């Protein structure tokens, strides 16, 4: 036993001796300032993970707008000046934006690589998303979501006693339940042969989704899912429910899912379970950020009486001009894309809510050594290094957004009540000032549908319910920083609200 400890002691001592010589990257001429961190391999990961915003602000003060940090074995060049964002995107030919995203998907969801270059599939997944989530395809998707939201929200049987009763619930739990069920039905259709058991099936999937999503930040960081037994079992159950033999029993499946169901063996070498796991990736992408975004939009609107009043007036006016009548027993409300797009107040409420809660990390991998030309100078970038934008720095910049931590429902409205698109930094107009959905080639292809979903949810909440916070002056819960880099941060704790159906 003593010999074993002695051997391990020698190994550790040798590693500690060699680390400063071979394990620390040396900054070369023309490269950005470099932070290697003190911990081998991890580098600055612990400091970054504890509070990304403060970590980046501190390094920005120390090094300027461009600097490099070692994070979990990777060298990441952070570009923090929003005036340089468009310059970064102009270097697209030097970037491989797919490499990181495809690798993360494979690790987290358990399928083989979906990069056509790796030979498992010829499907261009981004083209599939654009084809089925934008343009004309968005019409049927939006219509289906509106119908499913009302199927989830409206009472199945009209009852005066139920209509008049207040219900108290955690707002995040409410948004999670409603948006998950409606979103699941919209993507994967309804089981018309087992309608009575359908909600139970979806609620079981909801529980499994929560268990899996809880460890997603660790999976994205590279930890194997087998370290998390409960999450692993939940993932496998979700995938099992999305096998094609199960989906074929459902009707009104979205074009996105149905198109991918019938990819034949000449397009993909994935077996049925692997295909199901790619469907799980789509489910996660459609829910993980939309649910917290919906929560923040609803909470901020209810907390702000002026926002609530302006939004209610806009919704009522829109429904009236569209000839839509609110009823529990009549036809469900139906608004088309044009009508949903013409809601500047709701648009501003959603944008402001996402500005305050988004913490996405926009990353690209360098395909080769090249020189990055920015507003303040040029920098040498090495092959396989990562270029990163962290828009939360911009979203909370007081020069761009005065009083940045305060929710202002009309921040994105101009003096005429139309959508405001002009924001400045250092006296210069910004091309990019709002980036919760990413940018350039990595921008979320489902962003239009996500905003429509949130608008539809808010419209229905204002139309069907009376809404109150249990504590009228409740503060916003803090953001869950453990998910920084993944998109919209959820609340660290839930907040209770009351709702009851209106007397229509």
Cα separations in angstroms, 23 against 19, 74, 262, 387, 501: 5, 12, 48, 21, 63
Predicted pLDDT at 159:
58
Q: What is the pLDDT of residues 369-413, one digit of tens each?
A: 999 999 889 999 999 999 999 999 999 999 999 999 999 999 999
Beta-strand relationship, 74-79 and 386-389: parallel
Name the residue among 95, 55, 101 with its Cα closest to residue 78: 55
Strand order in the sheet with 34-35: 34-35, 66-71, 74-79, 386-389, 362-366, 95-96
Round to whole Å and give the CA distance between 220 and 351.
Answer: 26
Three-class SS of residue 167?
Answer: strand
For the annotated binding site, the residues are 107, 289, 444
For the annotated binding site for substrate, the residues are 107, 289
Predicted pLDDT at 10:
39
Three-class SS of residue 386?
Answer: strand
Round to whole Å and give the CA distance between 237 and 241.
Answer: 6
| The dihedral formed by the CA atoms of 219, 222, 225 and 230, expressed in degrees to the nearest 10 | -40
Predicted pLDDT at 8:
38
Predicted pLDDT at 357:
97
Three-class SS of residue 496?
Answer: strand
Round to whole Å and give the CA distance between 334 and 325.
Answer: 10
Name the residue among 161, 206, 479, 143 with its Cα closest to residue 339: 143
**Residue 481 CB partners (closer than 8 Å, separation 6+):** 50, 51, 52, 359, 489
412 by Cβ neighbours in 10 Å (0-12 / 13-18 / 19+) ranks as: buried
Where does residue 369 fall: left (phi above 0), alpha (psi -120 to 50 degrees), or beta otherwise? beta
Q: E strand or H helix at 14, and its extent?
A: helix 2-18
Dig out the tokens for 306 from the structure. 């002026």
Three-class SS of residue 460?
Answer: helix
Three-class SS of residue 76?
Answer: strand
Predicted pLDDT at 355:
98
| The dihedral formed by the CA atoms of 226, 228, 231 and 236, expressed in degrees to the nearest 10 | 10
Dig out the tokens for 293 from the structure. 């975004």
- Enumerate the domain spans of the chain: 81-501
DSSP 400: T
Residuewise pLDDT in 10s, the chain (504 residues): 444 333 334 334 434 444 444 468 999 999 999 999 989 889 999 999 889 999 999 999 999 999 999 998 999 999 999 999 999 999 989 998 888 888 899 999 999 988 888 888 888 888 889 999 998 889 999 999 999 999 999 876 655 556 678 999 999 999 999 999 999 999 999 887 776 788 889 999 999 999 999 999 999 888 999 999 999 999 999 999 999 999 988 889 999 998 887 766 667 888 889 999 999 999 999 999 999 999 999 999 999 999 999 999 999 999 999 999 888 877 889 999 999 999 999 999 999 999 999 999 999 999 999 999 998 899 999 999 999 999 999 999 999 999 999 999 999 999 999 999 999 999 999 999 999 998 887 889 999 999 999 999 999 999 999 999 999 888 899 999 989 999 999 999 999 999 999 887
Q: E strand or H helix at 389, and its extent?
A: strand 386-389
Round to whole Å and give the CA distance between 494 and 292.
Answer: 11
Dig out the tokens for 286 from the structure. 């459609």
For the annotated binding site for heme, the residues are 444
**Residue 376 CB partners (closer than 8 Å, separation 6+):** 64, 65, 66, 81, 84
Domain 81-501 has CATH 3.30.300.20: no
Q: What count of other Cβ atoms lies within 10 Å of the Cβ of residue 265?
A: 7
Asked if 89 and 372 touch (Cβ cutoff 8 Å), the reply is no
| The dihedral formed by the CA atoms of 366, 369, 371 and 376, expressed in degrees to the nearest 10 | 50
Q: E strand or H helix at 74, and its extent?
A: strand 74-79
Predicted pLDDT at 473:
85
Measured over the CA atoms of residue 265, residue 270, residue 275 and residue 280, the dihedral's sign is negative
Angle at 385 between CA 280 and CA 365, to 5 degrees: 40
């Amino acid at each position: 036993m003593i010999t074993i400890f002695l051997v391990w002691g020698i190994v550790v001592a040798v590693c500690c001796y060699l680390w400063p010589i071979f394990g620390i990257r040396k900054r070369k001429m023309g490269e950005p300032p470099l932070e290697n961190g003190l911990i081998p391999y991890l580098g600055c990961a612990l400091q970054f993970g504890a509070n990304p915003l403060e970590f980046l602000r501190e390094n920005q003060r120390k090094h300027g707008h461009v600097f490099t940090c070692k994070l979990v074995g990777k060298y990441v060049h952070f570009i923090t000046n929003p005036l340089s964002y468009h310059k970064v995107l102009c270097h697209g030919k030097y970037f491989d934006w797919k490499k990181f995203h495809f690798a993360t998907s494979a690790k987290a969801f358990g399928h083989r690589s979906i990069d056509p270059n790796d030979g498992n599939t010829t499907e261009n997944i981004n083209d599939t998303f654009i084809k089925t989530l934008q343009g004309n395809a968005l019409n049927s998707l939006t219509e289906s979501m509106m119908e499913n939201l009302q199927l989830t929200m409206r009472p199945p049987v009209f009852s005066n006693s139920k209509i008049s009763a207040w219900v108290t619930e955690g707002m995040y739990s409410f948004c999670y339940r409603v948006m998950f069920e409606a979103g699941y039905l919209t993507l994967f259709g309804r089981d018309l042969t087992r309608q009575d058991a359908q909600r139970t099936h979806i609620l079981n999937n909801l529980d499994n989704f929560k268990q899996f999503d809880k460890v997603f930040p660790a999976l994205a960081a590279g930890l194997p899912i087998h370290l998390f037994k409960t999450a692993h079992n939940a993932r496998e159950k979700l995938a099992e429910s999305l096998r094609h033999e199960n989906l074929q029993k459902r009707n009104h499946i979205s074009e996105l899912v149905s198109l991918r169901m019938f990819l034949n063996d000449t397009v993909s070498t994935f077996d049925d379970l692997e295909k199901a796991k790619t469907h799980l990736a789509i489910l996660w992408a459609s829910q993980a950020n939309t649910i917290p975004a919906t929560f923040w939009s609803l909470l901020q609107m209810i907390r702000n009486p002026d926002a609530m009043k302006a939004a209610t007036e806009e919704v009522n006016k829109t429904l009236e001009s569209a000839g839509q009548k609110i009823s529990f027993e009549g036809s469900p409300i139906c608004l088309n894309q044009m009508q949903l797009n013409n809601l500047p107040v709701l648009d501003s409420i959603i944008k402001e809510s996402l500005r305050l809660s988004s913490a996405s990390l926009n990353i690209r991998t360098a395909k080769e050594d090249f020189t990055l030309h920015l507003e303040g100078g040029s920098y040498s970038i090495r092959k396989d290094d990562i270029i990163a934008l962290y828009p939360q720095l911009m979203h909370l910049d007081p020069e761009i957004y005065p009083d940045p931590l305060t929710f202002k429902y009309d921040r994105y409205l101009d003096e005429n009540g139309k959508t405001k698109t002009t924001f400045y930094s250092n006296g210069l107009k910004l091309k990019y000032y709002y980036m919760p959905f990413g940018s350039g080639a990595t921008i979320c292809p489902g962003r239009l549908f996500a905003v429509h979903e949130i608008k539809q949810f808010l419209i229905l909440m204002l139309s069907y319910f009376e809404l109150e916070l249990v504590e009228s002056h409740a503060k916003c819960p803090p953001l869950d920083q453990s998910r920084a880099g993944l998109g919209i941060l959820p609340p660290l704790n839930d907040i209770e609200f009351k709702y009851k159906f209106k007397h229509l």
